[in-house]
Amino acid sequence: MINILQTIKWPDVIAGALVAAIVSTIGFGLRLLIQFRLARRSILRYGQGTWYSAEYDTKGNVPRDRRVTYLKVSMTPTLLGRVKVRSLEQLNPEDKAVETGWIAEGRIQNGVLIGEWRTTVKGTDRFGSAMLRFLDNGRAVGYWIGVRGFDPPLYGYWIMSKDFDDLRAVVNGAVPPGSFEAIDVARRVADFERGTRGSRV
């Protein structure tokens, strides 16, 4: 065994390992750079920077006509080639009983952001998935689905615009607060198990 170890040319082995490590590091760095550039290019097409977001929001058991939360958000590329949408400021806190804040991260494919989101509000455990279709007029529309702790999932609309006044006009005209109806699937399944009629939320 000692004879075998003595025949190994250790300087060559160490040099080869160092070269492999350097090549791997450079390759990984180039891959990150390419992914970042692709993500940046995709969001530049739809609008990097500040957007305004409206979402159907049932937190706090608010009345139906107050189930919309408006947020100022930022959209940026990530080093891993993904797109991040992060809430910056809640714009109608006086209408809401519970604070809202989140980060959504995913990829844009054929004009659609597909990703996951998680809350940024301390002391809460909310997370889920989202899908958002970018339109040609500086708007985007889609849905979020999410859970809180071990509760059944909920869902709602998600609308974004580059202009806040435009966003409010779209929400008030297309989905006025109180008009959007989501089906509580968990309650319907529970009612079905009990042999009763399903209900809406």
* Two structure tokens written together for 150: 């071990």
Contacts 24+ apart (CB under 8 A), 123-127: 124/148, 125/149, 126/102
pLDDT (tens digit per residue) in 99-113: 999 999 999 988 999
Whether residue 89 is predicted with pLDDT greater than 90 in this model: the reply is yes
pLDDT (tens digit, 9 = 90+) per residue, 52-74? 999 999 888 788 888 999 999 99
Q: 3-class SS at 69?
A: strand
> pLDDT at position 59, please?
85
Which residues are 90's β-sheet partners?
Answer: 71
Confidence of residue 39 (pLDDT cuts 50, 70, 90): low
Mean pLDDT of the chain: 83
What percentage of residues in the chain have a pLDDT greater than 70? 79
* pLDDT confidence tier of residue 41, bands split at 50, 70 and 90: low
Question: What confidence tens digit (pLDDT) does each residue in 122-150 have?
Answer: 998 999 999 999 998 899 999 999 988 77
Single-letter amino acid code for the residue at 52:
Y
pLDDT category at 81 given cuts 50, 70, 90 is confident
For 45-190, CATH number?
2.40.128.30
**Cβ-based neighbour number of residue 184 at 10 Å:** 17
Task: Tell whether the torsion through CA atoms of 112, 118, 121 and 124 is positive or negative.
Answer: positive
26 Rama class: left (phi>0) / alpha (psi -120 to 50) / beta: alpha
Q: In terms of DSSP bridges, do strands 112-119 and 126-134 run parallel, antiparallel, or are they unpaired? A: antiparallel
How many alpha carbons fall within 13 Å on the CB side of residue 166? Answer: 12
How many residues are listed for the chain in this entry?
201
Show me where the domains of the chain are located: 45-190
Contact indicator for 154, 182 with CB cutoff of 8 Å: yes
What band does 37 get if pLDDT is binned at 50, 70 and 90?
A: low
- pLDDT beyond 60 at 198: no
Q: Are 131 and 117 in contact (CB under 8 A)?
A: no
**Dihedral angle computed from the Cα positions of residues 35, 37, 40 and 42, in that order, rounded to the nearest 10 degrees:** -70
Please, which residues bridge with residue 102 across strands?
A: 119
